[in-house]
Amino acid sequence: MPTPRNCCPQFRRYSRSRTHERPTFQGIYPPVVTPLHEDGSIDFDSLGNVVDHLIDGGMHGLFVLGSTGEVAYLTDEQRVQVITRIAERAAGRVPLLVGCMDMTAARVVEQGRRAVAAGADGIVVTAPFYALNNGPEIADHFRLVAAGVDVPVFAYDVPVRLGGVKLAPEMLVQLGTEGVIAGVKDSSGDDVGYRRLVAQNKAAGSPLKLFTGHEMVNDAVVLMGCDGMVPGFANVDPVSYRRLWDAATSGDWATAVSLQEQINSEFEIVFKPRGRGGDATGLGAFKTAMHLLGLISSPRQPQPLPAMPAEDVAAVREVLVGTGLLK
> What stretches of 8-152 show up as alpha helix (H) in DSSP?
9-18, 44-56, 76-90, 105-118, 135-148
Interface size with a second copy, residues (CB under 8 A):
68
Residue 302 beta carbon to a second copy: minimum distance, rounded to whole angstroms: 7
Question: Which of the residues 8 through 67 are near a second copy (CB under 8 A)?
Answer: 67
Let me know if 29 is a catalytic residue: no
Residue of 73, 91, 113, 297 that binds a second copy (CB under 8 A): 73
Close Cβ partners of 312 (under 8 Å, ≥ 6 residues apart): 272, 273, 274, 288
| Consecutive H or E run containing 203 | helix 191-203
Nearest to 84 by CA among 67, 98, 69, 102: 98
Residue nearer to a second copy on the CB measure, 70 or 88: 70
Sheet containing strand 228-229, strands side by side: 27-28, 228-229, 209-212, 183-186, 153-157, 122-126, 96-99, 62-64
Stretch that binds a second copy, among 21-29, 42-50, 179-187, 253-261 (CB under 8 A): 253-261
C-beta of residue 83 within 8 angstroms of C-beta of residue 96: yes
Asked if residue 68 belongs to a known ligand binding site, the reply is: yes
Selected from 216, 239, 307, 326, the binder of a second copy by CB under 8 A is: 216
Looking only at residues 102 through 141 of this chain, which bind a second copy when binding is defined by CB under 8 A? 103-107, 110, 128-134, 136-141
Q: Is 185 noted as a catalytic residue in this protein?
A: yes
Which of positions 183-212 make contact with a second copy (CB under 8 A)? 189-192, 195-196, 199
Tell me the three state secondary structure of residue 166: coil
Smallest gap from residue 108 Cβ to a second copy (A) = 10
Cis peptide before 304 (omega within 30 of 0): yes
Is 163 a binding residue for a second copy by CB under 8 A? The answer is: yes
Helix, coil or strand: residue 59: coil
Q: What are the residues binding a second copy (CB under 8 A)?
A: 67, 72-76, 78, 101, 103-107, 110, 128-134, 136-141, 143-144, 160-164, 189-192, 195-196, 199, 214-217, 219-221, 223-224, 251, 253-254, 257, 261, 264-265, 275-280, 302-306
Annotated binding site for pyruvate: 68, 230
Active site residues: 156, 185
